[in-house]
């Protein structure tokens, strides 16, 4: 039955000896390894890959405070709302002053039949505004006056001082409306947020060894020729923390120290660079093994800040990496080359996210978790066993990579131990042929999470 289970697992995953990534013996290194344990529900993302914050603010009081800073409110809202307000602001101003001119003409008697333009010369009548027949004529005069179109048909006279006053007010209000709305549209077009679209972050963060130390690294690039002046990058780790007093902090922020080669976090992005966080004893990631990275729920927020060379405005690009987006045992592919023909460096952005597997030592950290993990396939069972490092390491064959004719030897060795049982996600013995499988206890090593003493 176990043979059938493993055959089914291999056929379902489509893996073979050639396609399966090799896991070396227990104390050796992992090359391009991603623990295939079944993980818990991943942590909800705080910052999306686009850089937008995944936060919805509800039940906010004092909504009128947003109107006190109306310019910022209009710049922040969506384009369709801004364009609607842009059109309505002009239309309402035209209508308002058209009504004012219509009321003035109505009270002065200009709209009476004997005082209409064809009869004005015969009746010796001086109107407030020439060539006004109805409200439509007042609306056209308001439009022509506010934007100084000047068709030359309708014009104000000296007959009505109130009409002269309204005409002056319309000229002032028209300039204010036009300047205000043009400023909002211009501010939205030149927002620093638009500049962030050409600042790139790698899709995944990688962990590999550099200069003898484990490092977390990701790639940053700028596709524009105009540079970001004073670019500075920083990162924060968001995770759940329980204080000694028992307080549970769901969004606990920890700063990650970043460097670029032998420089600090200040970047000069003439080409894509790899930003590195060294996983040393001062790092919050120091005691994480590959299995802990998959099992823990955390998020790494990355912020790139600087001043745009073209406009002088400050900008900030953001992204985040969940624990499921961190790959163990990889490094980034080189994407720069020097063209001898043009005597210039060339950057191939099609390879921006390409990675290659490298030998990365498996850290000898104590287990982080004390509860049962989820191991439901033979390959996951093997990886759980491989995580235990005995004093005298012995290579353990991988059942997924074994030829089926050598599988009986492995299973006979697997059944010969009796101190540990493997549990599924419901924390009950799995109802499958793997229930009878057990692993030898190693007195010198603490039990790995997911392999719990009976």
pLDDT band at 365 (very low <50, low <70, confident <90, very high): low
Q: Tell me, what's the pLDDT at 31?
A: 58
pTM of the model: 0.62
**Would you state the pLDDT for residue 206?**
95
pLDDT for 162: 93
Residue 140: pLDDT above 90?
yes
Is pLDDT of 219 > 60?
A: yes
Give the model's confidence band at 399: pLDDT under 50 very low, under 70 low, under 90 confident, else very high.
very low
> What does the mean pLDDT of the chain come to?
75
Instruction: Give the model's confidence band at 32: pLDDT under 50 very low, under 70 low, under 90 confident, else very high.
Output: low
Structure tokens at 78: 């969506």
Range of lowest pLDDT (87-96, 129-138, 148-157, 331-340):
148-157
Q: Which pLDDT belongs to residue 362?
A: 74
Q: How confident is the model at residue 75 (pLDDT cuts 50, 70, 90)?
A: confident
Residue 362 β-bridge partners: none
- 40-49+203-361 and 67-192 share one CATH topology? no
220 or 226: whose pLDDT is higher? 220
* Residue 104 pLDDT: 94
Query: Around Cβ 171, how many Cβ atoms within 10 Å?
Result: 14
Q: Is the distance from CB of 25 to CB of 396 less than 8 angstroms? A: yes
The residue among 296 and 201 whose pLDDT is bigger is 201
Domain ranges within the chain, ordered by starting residue: 1-28+362-454, 40-49+203-361, 67-192
Helix (H), strand (E), coil (C) string for 5-49: HHHHHHHHHCCCCCCCCCECCCCCEEECCCCCCECCCCCCCCECC
Mean pLDDT along residues 395-402: 42
Please give the share of the chain, as a percent, with pLDDT higher than 90.
36
**Predicted local distance difference test score (pLDDT) of residue 410:** 43
pLDDT value, residue 68: 81
Burial label, 364 (beta-carbon count in 10 A; 0-12, 13-18, 19+): exposed
Asked if the model's pLDDT at residue 449 lies above 60, the reply is no
d(C-alpha 334, C-alpha 327), whole Å: 17
Beta carbons within 10 angstroms of residue 419's beta carbon:
13
Tell me the per-residue pLDDT of 224-243, one tens digit each, with 9 for 90 and over. Answer: 888 888 899 999 999 989 99
pLDDT tens track for 46-66: 899 888 888 888 887 777 787
- Check pLDDT > 50 for residue 439: no
Q: Please give the pLDDT value at position 375.
A: 40
Residues in the chain: 454
Least confident of 154-163, 169-178, 316-325, 358-367: 358-367
Among 25-29, 81-85, 288-292, 340-344, the minimum mean pLDDT is found in: 25-29
Q: What are the pLDDT digits (tens) for 76-111?
A: 888 999 999 999 999 999 999 999 999 999 999 889
Look at residue 398 in the predicted model and tell me its pLDDT. 43
Tens digit of pLDDT for each residue in 176-204? 999 999 999 988 888 877 788 889 999 99
Determine the average pLDDT of the residues in 356-372. Answer: 67
Domain boundaries 67-192, CATH class: mainly alpha
The two tokens of residue 250 are 């769901």
Residue 372 confidence (pLDDT) above 70: no
Number of other residues whose CB lies within 10 A of the CB of residue 125? 17
pLDDT-derived band at 443, boundaries 50, 70, 90: very low
pLDDT of the residue at 29: 52
The count of other CB atoms within 10 Å of the CB of residue 388 is: 21
* Homologous superfamily of 40-49+203-361: G protein-activated inward rectifier potassium channel 1 (2.60.40.1400)
Q: Give 335 or 394, the one with higher predicted confidence.
A: 335
């Amino acid at each position: 039955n176990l043979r059938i289970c493993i055959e089914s697992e291999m056929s379902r995953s489509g893996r073979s000896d050639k396609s399966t990534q090799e896991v070396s013996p227990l104390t050796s290194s992992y090359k391009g390894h991603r623990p295939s344990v079944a993980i818990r529900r991943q942590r909800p993302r705080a910052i999306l890959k686009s850089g937008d914050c995944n936060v919805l603010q509800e039940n906010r009081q004092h909504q009128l405070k947003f109107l006190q800073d109306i310019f910022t409110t209009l710049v922040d809202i969506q384009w369709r709302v801004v364009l609607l307000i842009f059109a309505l602001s002009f239309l309402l101003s035209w209508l308002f002053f058209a009504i004012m001119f219509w009321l003035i003409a109505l009270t002065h008697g200009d709209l009476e039949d004997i005082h209409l333009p064809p009869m004005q010369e015969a009746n010796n009548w001086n109107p407030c505004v020439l060539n006004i027949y109805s409200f439509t004529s007042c609306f056209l005069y308001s439009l022509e006056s506010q934007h100084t179109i000047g068709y030359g048909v309708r014009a104000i006279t000296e007959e009505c001082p109130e009409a002269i006053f309204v005409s002056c007010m319309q000229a002032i209000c028209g300039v204010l409306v036009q300047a205000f709305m043009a400023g909002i549209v211009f501010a939205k077009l030149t927002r620093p947020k638009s500049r962030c679209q050409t600042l790139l972050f790698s899709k995944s963060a990688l962990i590999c060894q550099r200069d003898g130390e484990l490092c977390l690294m990701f790639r940053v690039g700028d596709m524009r020729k105009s540079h970001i002046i004073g670019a500075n990058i920083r990162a924060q780790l968001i995770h759940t923390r329980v204080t000694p007093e028992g307080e549970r902090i769901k969004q606990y922020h920890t700063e990650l120290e970043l460097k670029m080669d032998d420089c600090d976090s200040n970047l000069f992005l003439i080409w894509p660079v790899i930003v590195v966080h060294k996983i040393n004893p001062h790092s919050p990631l120091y005691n994480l093994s590959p299995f802990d990275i998959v099992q823990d729920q955390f998020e790494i927020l990355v912020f790139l800040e600087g001043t745009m060379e073209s406009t002088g405005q400050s900008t900030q690009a953001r992204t985040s990496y969940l624990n499921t987006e961190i790959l163990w045992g990889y490094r980034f592919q080189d994407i720069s080359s020097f063209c001898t023909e043009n005597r210039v460096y060339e950057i191939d952005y099609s390879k921006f996210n390409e990675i290659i597997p490298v030998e990365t030592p498996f850290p000898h950290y104590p287990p982080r978790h004390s509860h049962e993990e989820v191991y439901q396939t033979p390959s996951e069972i093997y990886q759980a066993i491989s995580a235990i490092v005995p004093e005298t390491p012995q290579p353990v064959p991988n059942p997924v990579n074994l030829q089926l004719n050598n599988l009986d030897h492995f299973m006979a060795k697997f059944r010969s131990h009796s101190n540990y049982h493997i549990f599924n996600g419901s924390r009950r013995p799995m109802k499958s042929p793997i229930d009878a499988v057990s692993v030898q206890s190693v007195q010198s090593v603490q039990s790995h999470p997911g392999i719990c003493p009976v």
